Every structure is written in C-alpha cells, then in structure tokens.
C-alpha cells in the first residue's frame, strides 16, 4: 500500500470520526429543544383539555350535551361500576331546611328528588360550579326548571320555579342565583324540587347533603352501580324524611361492632343498609348509613 492510499484511508477515517462527533453533538444540543417543544405541546394539550372541560363539564363521563331532555342518556351512557363524587365546594340551593316530601315511592310512582319548602320568590342557587344544560318548562311535571351539569359528574335539577335567572349553556358558580322559588307545573304548593343525578340515575340527595344542618354528609360520595343501574340506596323503600336517616363517618380504629353499639343498631342491620359483609374492611372517611 503506497503513501497516497494510506493518506486517503486516514482522511476518510478522520472524516467519519468527525461526522460521528458532530452528530452526537447535534443530538445533545437538540435534546433540550425537544424537551422544550414537548413541554410546550403538553401545556397546549392541558390548556385544550381545561377549555373542553369548562365548555362541557364531566366530558369524559357523558355521551352528549342535550338541551332538550332531563333524561337524555339511556343506553348511550356507560355507567361505571363505582365512581367517587367530590362534594367539596357545595352550596345549599336554599337556606330553608324543611323537607316536605322525601325521595322514594309516592302516589304509586317514584319521586326522584327532595321537596324543600320555599316561598314564591325565594332565591335558589346552584349547588356546585357548573354549566346550565336545560332551562325549560314542563306543565305536567317540573314546571319551570333548570338542569346544571357539574365537573364532579353530578347533574342537579331545580323544579317548580317561578322564574329562571340563567340561560342554557351559561357557566355558573356554586352559590350563584339560578332561579326563584315557585309553584309551577305539577305542584300543590310552593316548594323546590331538588334532584341529584349521575348519568341520568337518580341518587337520593339525603345520602350526600344534610339539609337540616345545611352541610354535606361527607366530602365524597361513592356511587356504586347495582342491578338496573340504580345507585346504592336510590331504590331503598325507606323514605328519607328529615331526621329519619342517620350516617356515621368512619374514623381510624372504628369497627362494625363499635359503630353498631354507638349508633344503636345491629351489625346485621348495618351490613344490610350498606350492602357490605362482616368481613368488609372499613376505610377512614367512609360513610355508613345507620338507619
């Protein structure tokens, strides 16, 4: 091999080493740029998700946004086996505490909410932050009513109003006035008909909200699907009248026997009311129905 050939090989090898070094350097310099672009894309995506959630609360749960029907989902809704509903930030729709008609069977039909005594013209407010889905009138039913969907997965219904103060697709805050108490529709006296629904399934508001005390029962409520897509307790024949249902919030160290003794109820009764067994592990913060 002559000198020129050796020289050519060395130059080629040097060039390859230089190219490889340049490539590695370019990749090293590109990495922070890629991370920055990825961060920008991530922020843009998060912003878009927040915008969509603000436009349509609980977007991932509900199959549609319908301004016509209260019960708009049916078979289109995919009901999870369980879902924890955040109740923090709740505002009572009215300061009045007297429940005139509980949740449950009434006059051979299901009464899917609580009737709370209000006077005509009393201010009714939104229970949570949310977006107004329906503002409508039903002569043989809700009368003038409002339906609001909330980010926690609930929809609340406010019926028999004398006046609606919001528009469809309007965003509202918890505690913001949405209507005035009334006696419209299928009503025998001025009151607020208040419903709480999850994917169209009625849940007894008394399981979540203590109207006499004007507070939530606990910070969360866990919806559990049962046969027929009913929420645990929503089909219970025991009516939820003022003071008729009692609850216990589980604390560290609580046992079924200790709770039963404290609340004056048998362990078997506790298990039946809450659809649990004697072997169920209790969690701090869990809410048990005691009557």
Q: What are phi and psi of 196, to 5 degrees?
A: -125, 125
DSSP the chain: --HHHHHHHHHHHHHHHHHHHHHHHHHHHHHHHHHHHHHHHHHHHHHHHHHHHHHSTTTTT-S---SS-SS--GGG----SEEEEE-TT---S-S---EEE-SEEETTEEE-SEEEE--TT-EEE-SSSEEEEEEEEETTTTEEEEEEEETTSEEEEEEEESEE---TT-EE-TT-EEEE-B--SS-SSSEEEEEEEETTEEE-GGGTEETTTTEESSSEEEEEB-GGGPBTTTT-SS---TTT--EEE--TT--HHHHHHHHT--HHHHHHHHT--TTPPP-TT-EEE--
**Confidence at residue 271, expressed as pLDDT on a 0 to 100 scale:** 87
**Confidence at residue 269, expressed as pLDDT on a 0 to 100 scale:** 85
Short-list 212, 216, 144, 154, CA closest to 178: 144
**Confidence at residue 233, expressed as pLDDT on a 0 to 100 scale:** 38
Cα distance between residue 215 and residue 64, in whole Å: 31
Q: Could you read off the pLDDT tens digit of each residue along the chain, which spans 291 residues?
A: 555 555 555 555 555 555 555 556 655 666 666 665 666 667 776 666 666 666 778 888 998 898 988 888 877 788 898 899 999 999 999 999 999 988 887 777 788 899 999 999 999 999 999 999 999 999 989 999 999 999 999 999 999 999 999 999 999 999 999 999 999 999 989 999 999 999 999 999 988 998 888 888 888 998 888 755 445 433 332 323 333 456 777 888 888 888 887 777 788 888 888 888 888 888 887 878 777
Q: What are phi and psi of 130, to 5 degrees?
A: 180, -165
**Confidence at residue 48, expressed as pLDDT on a 0 to 100 scale:** 66
CATH superfamily of 84-224: Glucose Permease (Domain IIA) (2.70.70.10)
The boundaries of every CATH 2.70.70.10 domain in the chain are: 84-224
pTM for the model: 0.65
- If you search the block for the tokens 């939104």, which residue do you land on? 126
**Confidence at residue 267, expressed as pLDDT on a 0 to 100 scale:** 87
Cα distance between residue 182 and residue 159, in whole Å: 9
**Confidence at residue 288, expressed as pLDDT on a 0 to 100 scale:** 81
Cα distance between residue 130 and residue 181, in whole Å: 20
Cα distance between residue 91 and residue 158, in whole Å: 14
**Confidence at residue 238, expressed as pLDDT on a 0 to 100 scale:** 31
**Confidence at residue 93, expressed as pLDDT on a 0 to 100 scale:** 95
Please check whether the domain covering 247-289 is classified as CATH 3.40.440.10: no
Parallel, antiparallel or unpaired: strands 130-138 and 215-216:
unpaired
**Confidence at residue 42, expressed as pLDDT on a 0 to 100 scale:** 72
Cα distance between residue 214 and residue 160, in whole Å: 21
CA atoms within 13 A on the CB side of 37: 5
Q: What are phi and psi of 227, to 5 degrees?
A: -55, 130
Q: What are phi and psi of 201, to 5 degrees?
A: -90, 125
Name the maximum alpha-carbon separation found in the chain: 113
The boundaries of every CATH 3.10.350.10 domain in the chain are: 247-289
């Amino acid at each position: 091999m002559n000198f020129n050939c050796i020289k050519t090989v060395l130059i080629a090898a040097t060039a390859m080493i230089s190219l490889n070094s340049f490539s590695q350097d370019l990749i090293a310099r590109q990495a922070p740029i890629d991370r920055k672009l990825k961060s920008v894309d991530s922020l843009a995506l998060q912003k878009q998700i927040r915008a969509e959630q603000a436009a349509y609360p609980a977007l991932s749960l509900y199959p549609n946004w319908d301004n016509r029907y209260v019960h708009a989902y049916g078979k289109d809704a995919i009901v999870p086996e369980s879902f924890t509903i955040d109740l923090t930030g709740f505002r009572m729709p009215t300061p009045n505490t007297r429940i005139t008609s509980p949740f449950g069977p009434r006059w051979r039909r299901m009464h899917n909410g609580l009737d709370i005594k209000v006077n005509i013209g009393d201010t009714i407010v939104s229970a949570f932050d949310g977006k107004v889905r329906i503002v409508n009138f039903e002569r043989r039913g809700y009368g003038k009513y409002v339906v609001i969907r909330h980010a926690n997965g609930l929809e609340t219904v406010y019926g028999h109003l004398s006046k609606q103060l919001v528009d469809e697709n309007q965003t509202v805050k918890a505690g913001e006035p949405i209507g005035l108490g009334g006696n419209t529709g299928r009503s025998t006296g001025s009151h607020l008909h208040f419903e709480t629904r999850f994917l169209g399934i009625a849940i007894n508001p008394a399981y979540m909200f203590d109207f006499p005390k004007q507070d939530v029962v606990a910070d969360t409520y866990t919806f559990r699907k049962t046969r027929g897509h009913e929420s645990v307790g929503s089909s219970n024949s025991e009516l939820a009248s003022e003071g008729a249902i009692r609850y216990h919030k589980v604390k560290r160290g609580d046992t079924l026997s200790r709770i039963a003794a404290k609340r004056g109820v048998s362990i078997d009764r506790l298990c039946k009311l809450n659809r649990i067994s004697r072997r169920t592990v209790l969690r701090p913060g869990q809410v048990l129905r005691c009557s």
